Amino acid sequence: MPNEHAILSASSSHRWLECTPSARLELEFSDYESVAAKEGTAAHALAEHKLKRKLKMRSERPVSEFNDEDMELYTDDYADYVFEQYKKAKRYDEIAQIFIEQKLDFSCYVPDGFGTGDAVIISKGKIQIIDLKYGQGVLVNAEKNSQMMLYALGALKKFGKEYDIKKVKMVIFQPRRENVSVWETTVTQLKKWAEKKLRPRAEMAYKGTGNYQPGSHCQFCKAATKCRARAEEKLKLAQEEFKMPPLLSDAEIESVLAKIPDIKKWVEEIWNYATEQALKGKQWNGFKVVEGKSNRKYKDEKMVAEACTKAGYNDIYVKKLITITEMEKLMGKKVFSELLGSLVEKPVGKPTLVEESDKRPAIVTVQNEFSEYKEEN
C-alpha cells in the first residue's frame, strides 16, 4: 500500500480532475484539521463501532469530546441503513459479504492512489459502496461523484474478478442533511470514464502540469486564498459587479448574480487570511490591527446582585426559557420532537434571492401574483 498521505486523494479528486496543478500546489501549505473535520472523524469512528456490533464483530466503543445525543442518533441511522442494505444483499445472494473501513487501491489509474471505503458490500455481480458524510455545509450528490467512482475502481480491483462484478452502486449517506443519494452504473461505463478522463488527468495532476482552473471545486483547497488564477477571475468579475445596473442587461445581471456568493466567500477568505497574518506580526500597507468593538459585562454577577439588593433594588432578574436550539440539545432531537414538537412553530422567513437549484419552493412575489391574477381574469 502507498504512503499514508496520497498526493492525489480520492476526497480531493473533484478538484485535481478540473484543476490539475492544484494537488502539487497544495503541498506547499501545512495540513490543518478544522473542528468540523475532527467532529467528522469522531462520527466515523462511532459509526464504524456501531456497525461492527450489529454484525457481531469485536469493537471497542470510541470516546470523543464531540459525542452527543445528535451524533448518537445520526450514527444509529447510518449503522441501521448499512445493516439493512447488507441484509438485502444476503437475501439476493446468501454468500454476500460486507467489508468495513476497507482499504481500496486504485493506483492502476491514479499514481499512488488509495482510499478507505466506509462500507463495501459484495454480492453476485454487484458492488455497493456506502460513504458516510457527517458534514452539513455542502449537500453531497452520489451521481458521477469522483470520490465514489475512485473507490469503486479500487473495489473492482480487489473483488471484481472473484465475484464477476457487472454493476456498481454508490451511496452517499448524509444524515444531518437528511440526504441519501444513490447512483448506479455499469463496470463498462466506469472503466470508460477511468481510461478517457481519469487516467490522463491524474497523470497531469501527479506531475503538476496543466492550467489552473478556478471554479466551485476551489472550496477547501489549501491554496485557494492565495491562488492567483482564482484572484484574477474574481477581480475580473468584480469589475462587472460594480458597474451601475443600468449599464447591464438582465442577462448580464443574471450572470453576475450566479457568481456573487462565490465572490463574497473569496473576499471573506482573503480578509480572514490577512487578519490572521497581521496577528502574527505581518504589516500590511494601509492597514493596522485594533481592538474590536465589545460590550460591557459584569465582572462578578453575585457581587452585583448583592450590591443591588443592599441598595434596595430587587427587580433585577429576568426569567425566560432557554433557546430552542439549547432545549433541543438538552433533550435530544427525538425527545424534543415528542415533547415539544406541537408547541414549536417556524415563522415565515424574510424573502431572499437564491439560485434555481435551491431546494426551497419559490414564493409568490407581487409581480407573480399580479401576473397570475391577469391570467385568471
pLDDT digits (tens, 9 = 90+) for 91-105: 988 889 999 999 999
Q: What is the pLDDT of residue 7?
A: 87
Which strands sit side by side in the sheet containing 126-132, from one edge to the other? 97-105, 114-123, 126-132, 167-174, 179-186
Q: What is the pLDDT of residue 153?
A: 97
CA 355 to chain centre: 19
Q: Are residues 90 and 46 in the same domain?
A: yes
Q: Are residues 248 and 153 in the same domain?
A: no
Listed residues 188, 214, 240: the one ending a domain: 214
Q: What is the pLDDT of residue 114?
A: 93
Alpha carbon distances (Å) from 175 to 6, 15, 55, 93, 97:
28, 24, 21, 28, 24
Q: What is the pLDDT of residue 260?
A: 82
Give the structural domain span for 207.
13-214
Q: Are residues 69 and 168 in the same domain?
A: yes
With a cut of 70, which residues of the chain have pLDDT below it?
Answer: 1-5, 237-246, 365-377
Q: What is the pLDDT of residue 370?
A: 45
Q: How many domains does the chain have?
A: 2
Listed residues 259, 279, 299: the one ending a domain: 279
Listed residues 159, 193, 214: the one ending a domain: 214
Q: What is the pLDDT of residue 218?
A: 83
Q: What is the pLDDT of residue 306?
A: 93
Q: Are residues 208 and 239 in the same domain?
A: no
Q: Are residues 231 and 86 in the same domain?
A: no
Q: What is the pLDDT of residue 279?
A: 87
Long-range pairs for 82-86: beta carbons < 8 A, 24 or more residues apart: 82/51, 82/119, 82/121, 82/130, 82/173, 83/51, 83/54, 83/55, 85/119, 85/121, 85/128, 85/130, 85/171, 86/55, 86/121
CA-based max dimension of the chain: 86
Q: What is the pLDDT of residue 257?
A: 84
Q: What is the pLDDT of residue 245?
A: 66
Q: Are residues 187 and 237 in the same domain?
A: no
- Are 210 and 21 in contact by the 8 Å Cβ rule? The answer is yes
Q: Are residues 128 and 181 in the same domain?
A: yes
